[in-house]
Amino acid sequence: GFDISGNPGLTATLYNVGNPEQRAYALKAENGKRRAAGEPEKLPEENYYGWLVNDKLPELRALF
């Protein structure tokens, strides 16, 4: 339920740690429980690799 298309670091994180679909479904399930409990949704988070991709995005774009 999150549009991550504008954040390449999140996509990089999902594929860097593996099982991207499983991790996305796990976050969806967790957020379903949080909504039912009246808690705010947890947003997708970048790991160090994802942060690095976003930090170096201008250089990466120049390569492609």
- What are the domain boundaries of the chain? 8-63
Calculate mean pLDDT across residues 12-20. Answer: 86
Sign of CA dihedral 37, 40, 42, 43: positive
Mean pLDDT estimate for the chain? 91
Calculate mean pLDDT across residues 14-40. Answer: 91
pLDDT in tens, 37-61: 999 999 988 999 999 999 999 999 9
In angstroms, the CA 25 to CA 43 distance is: 13
Q: Does pTM top 0.85 for this prediction? A: no
